[in-house]
Structure 1
């Protein structure tokens, strides 16, 4: 080997773009950039594609966007080739779909699996990113694009003493691929958000005894999940162009929207008719297409909340359970609203017990089980943590990301969570983000809609730079501050910011309080993104 080839061998591999994550966004970002001739590399911590649908394989995991809109829109041929079995498919089917797309588009050849990004540092002299991986590799890229997902940094070390537990501990977002035998076991589950609900309703009939450590009860909507026939599939496939256009302009990226008459213009009977119809639909439509006033007007919110409480009381018909399982301290729609199937009925089983951890919080985990503040030891064989995520920010702050002057994204966001439209961050040139804070994709969206929109915007921006021979893009501090102010003005007018939830970062101690997701609507957000691009990326410095 000559001296020249030795030097070349030591040089890090160089790419136009490095993408973090091979989920819905990362796969599409790879597809778009590679199609335009860019040299791209994806790093994925898992050993296969799928993102959320690779990691979250817990019992009962199921998508709650209708299958026919939880898809990619870049190819009608691809859309027509895949046949969903039901309206809200379970995790294995959604994972198979994403593998099907990866195979059809030959994506795997540019993805390195089983590899995490440890650090990413911007070099102001070269105007490029130096990226190091968990395998010790160092690579160099013009663009650093994060497609890590909004819910991909699980809160796993939640309670003191967890490591001493003699039984099995599972976090729902890191569930093993091998089946777990629940038969005859004493099982405890912590967390009753959307994930906890899916687990509880699924395993209640399988376990010996189930203790649900319940702190915050949830409003729910019963899922209506019919199997699809060939005729059903033909019907939605015929609407490809209509649906593709429709989801881009609604409030939450679904094919339904707030199109009712104003609440005040309807009689009580007419309001009831609307709510009942949406309840019967068995989707998220009651939350995301009933009455917008629900998010702003406390009286309207209370009336809709009471409608849902009434439905829950009918199913429980048990005053003691009603007091524990029906929310009264916050309003419907100000938290994430889960779809469920016989969740409430699980508590009517003799082998299911509620442990009220609002009255007696969990103190620690012992070798035998969970100890609560009232001195009780709840002996368990299996402990399931449905304890959620460091949403929106956690996936990025767990990487050592350094921008101009060595500034740290973790440090910056520990003081104040700030982005420019959830697409870039001032101080971090050429870093693009999807599913980051202050965009609808951080929480309030049918994810395939919002992630594809962000990937398209990022790709179009990079193409614009290539056409003009530009190397660097970064939002100005002023533009970012304007976006944050706009975001906050809309958010603070809603009831959502008055409620503690992961939407507000309230589940992570010390996290700055700000609504993580843009609540101005998917259609309105898209319009603003398009306007910025049409004005040649006004608010961004290009060089």
Structure 2
């Protein structure tokens, strides 16, 4: 039962990361009242919680921010090519402070339920500490990676050492010096942890199920001359970013691997590897993810690099991905990741064919060996995309929960609105663009703003995605996915297809057509008067 009912507002916003802060700015522009709830004790969202060693972006820092505040962008100190977690958090704090956003936010307050009233067309939102509030609109900014997936290893609670989940890292530094450390998982997070912890631990043992194509990040400090050049390039940076398939500040390759010979393939791939980051995929060949020959060449190129870098041949082969195409799992960036395995204090253990059976009081046991540790770090991924909102206990029309609906049919028109859940807009919902998040967030918040303005102008009290439009968008997402080579990676359980969590139905959870094409679809929907949504002027009869 609620212990306190707050005054009704026009909109409740859940989350105070990139999405929540951008939404505050939007709602102010529309003149709407709001209440924002944030589970953490500060702004930051994903970048508040994921403070594990080595955490940083894999998008260039000058595009992992907001475009709406040009003044802050042009005076911000982008210290590195890829921003470290403390600097991302500092940037979001600066945005919140500059725009006086904190006054709208209740921190340390976790939303535990939302219920749509069909008689009044309003949402009632409840929190874990007994608050209740009613609003016309409910906007969630929970991100894709808000719910950690920790495999239910038997005996996990029996471990007598220290254990950590990367997305729930303590604020206080953890000292690994002189300690035996296990890292379970080699996705993007695991790779960042391994690079950092391997430098200080007495011994680090990495447990890997599926090797990844880790691309060299080539991170570096940005000098004053580079920063000055960036500040002069504001329009160009954002034009490239908003039109790029993955929302990176890059130009398309304008080159097809299908049209060049093997020698030219090799030359261009080498240049992309040296450029670092996702330039290897997006500035080499535009057909890398759809042409088998080009993808095979790019995949084998990375495997040759691994074999050249890692001195021990057996370890090198374990690190070589051979069961999915490059792109079939989201490639992480490494900064001397493969070189880490040349250190005498780092050991790689494959659990693909010899999985972890049990966590013991002193470490863990596979089917063939037992290991002792002082610390175990779980970098085992997330119940991604649908997990965060599905876990929030959201009840729509007919009291159906969004968890029930998405378990069978996780579709959302333009990645923000699901049929049966009127007046609910989920930023980065299922079938949103698979791209760097801040530019996607800005695009989706602008879409929500146009839709709300249209509803207010029409006097509408209820806005709901139609089943037909949501189905058509979902089918378009399927069509694009199936035109690529990415489904070949399904056996390696890619999280962006919902395949990494046992019992979760694999499905097309992302729009893979690129941010530029997505923005064109958004403009078409808005310019056409939002034909994919039903707007109602009066409440539905009880």
1:481 aligns with one of 460, 466, 471: 471
1:135 aligns with one of 119, 129, 135: 129
Query: What's the counterpart of residue 498 of structure 1?
Result: 488
**C-alpha distance in 2, partners of 1:355/1:307?**
24
Query: What's the counterpart of residue 231 of structure 1?
Result: 225
Q: CA deviation at 1:157?
A: 5.4
1:83 aligns with one of 71, 77, 83: 77
Structure 2 contact 156–358 (Cα < 8 Å) conserved: yes
2:515 aligns with one of 522, 526, 533: 522
1:511 paired with 2:504, answer: yes
**C-alpha distance in 2, partners of 1:302/1:344?**
21
1:284 paired with 2:274, answer: no
Structure 2 contact 123–137 (Cα < 8 Å) conserved: yes
Q: CA deviation at 1:60?
A: 0.6
Q: CA deviation at 1:245?
A: 2.2
Structure 1 contact 171–385 (Cα < 8 Å) conserved: yes
1:190 paired with 2:194, answer: no
Query: What's the counterpart of residue 525 of structure 2?
Result: 532
**C-alpha distance in 1, partners of 2:7/2:246?**
40
1:207 paired with 2:189, answer: no
Query: What's the counterpart of residue 379 of structure 1?
Result: 372
What whole-Å deviation, never above 9, does each CA across 1:7-37 have from its counterpart, x for those lacking one? xx97542111111111111111011112321
Query: What's the counterpart of residue 294 of structure 1?
Result: 288
Residues 273 and 10 of structure 1, relative CA distance in 2, 3 Å threshold: closer
**C-alpha distance in 1, partners of 2:151/2:497?**
21
1:324 aligns with one of 318, 321, 324: 318
Structure 1 contact 287–337 (Cα < 8 Å) conserved: no
Count of matched residue pairs: 531
Q: Secondary structure at the match of 1:295?
A: coil
**C-alpha distance in 2, partners of 1:226/1:96?**
19
2:7 aligns with one of 3, 13, 23: 13
Q: CA deviation at 1:481?
A: 0.9
Q: CA deviation at 1:96?
A: 0.6
Structure 2 contact 17–141 (Cα < 8 Å) conserved: yes
What whole-Å deviation, never above 9, does each CA across 1:237-285 have from its counterpart, x for those lacking one? 1111222222111111112143332212223332222212211111211
1:393 aligns with one of 373, 383, 386: 386
**C-alpha distance in 2, partners of 1:468/1:267?**
58
Structure 2 contact 255–284 (Cα < 8 Å) conserved: no
**C-alpha distance in 2, partners of 1:348/1:75?**
44
Mean alpha-carbon deviation: is it higher for 163-172 or for 10-19? 10-19
**C-alpha distance in 1, partners of 2:374/2:305?**
35
Query: What's the counterpart of residue 180 of structure 1?
Result: 174
Structure 2 contact 440–515 (Cα < 8 Å) conserved: yes
1:433 paired with 2:423, answer: no
Structure 2 contact 253–286 (Cα < 8 Å) conserved: no
Query: What's the counterpart of residue 540 of structure 2?
Result: none
Q: CA deviation at 1:328?
A: 1.1
Query: What's the counterpart of residue 6 of structure 1?
Result: none
1:342 aligns with one of 325, 336, 342: 336
Q: Secondary structure at the match of 2:164?
A: strand
2:459 aligns with one of 469, 472, 497: 469
Structure 2 contact 4–131 (Cα < 8 Å) conserved: no
Query: What's the counterpart of residue 421 of structure 1?
Result: 414
**C-alpha distance in 2, partners of 1:391/1:412?**
16
**C-alpha distance in 1, partners of 2:126/2:522?**
31
Question: What is the root-mean-square deviation in Å for CA atoms of aligned residues?
Answer: 1.4
1:265 paired with 2:265, answer: no
Q: Secondary structure at the match of 2:134?
A: strand
Residues 293 and 407 of structure 1, relative CA distance in 2, 3 Å threshold: same
**C-alpha distance in 2, partners of 1:257/1:335?**
23
Q: Secondary structure at the match of 1:463?
A: helix
What whole-Å deviation, never above 9, does each CA across 1:83-123 have from its counterpart, x for those lacking one? 11111121111111111111101111101111111000100
**C-alpha distance in 2, partners of 1:370/1:13?**
52
**C-alpha distance in 1, partners of 2:173/2:504?**
35
**C-alpha distance in 2, partners of 1:504/1:172?**
22
Q: Secondary structure at the match of 1:89?
A: strand
Extract unaligned runs of 5+ from structure 2: 537-542
**C-alpha distance in 2, partners of 1:211/1:538?**
55
**C-alpha distance in 2, partners of 1:43/1:140?**
13
Q: Secondary structure at the match of 2:36?
A: strand
**C-alpha distance in 1, partners of 2:161/2:363?**
8
Q: CA deviation at 1:365?
A: 1.0
Query: What's the counterpart of residue 117 of structure 2?
Result: 123
**C-alpha distance in 1, partners of 2:258/2:482?**
22
Q: Secondary structure at the match of 1:72?
A: coil
Query: What's the counterpart of residue 3 of structure 1?
Result: none
Q: CA deviation at 1:382?
A: 0.5
What whole-Å deviation, never above 9, does each CA across 1:390-419 have from its counterpart, x for those lacking one? 000010111111101101111111112111
**C-alpha distance in 2, partners of 1:413/1:79?**
37
1:453 paired with 2:446, answer: no
Query: What's the counterpart of residue 171 of structure 1?
Result: 165
TM-score after normalising by structure 1? 0.95
Q: Secondary structure at the match of 2:297?
A: helix
Q: CA deviation at 1:465?
A: 1.3
Q: Secondary structure at the match of 2:274?
A: helix
Structure 1 contact 417–512 (Cα < 8 Å) conserved: no
Extract unaligned runs of 5+ from structure 1: 1-8
TM-score after normalising by structure 2? 0.96
What whole-Å deviation, never above 9, does each CA across 1:479-523 have from its counterpart, x for those lacking one? 111111111011112121221311211111111111321101111
1:25 paired with 2:19, answer: yes
What whole-Å deviation, never above 9, does each CA across 1:21-72 have from its counterpart, x for those lacking one? 1111111101111232110111111110111111111011111111111111
Q: Secondary structure at the match of 1:473?
A: strand
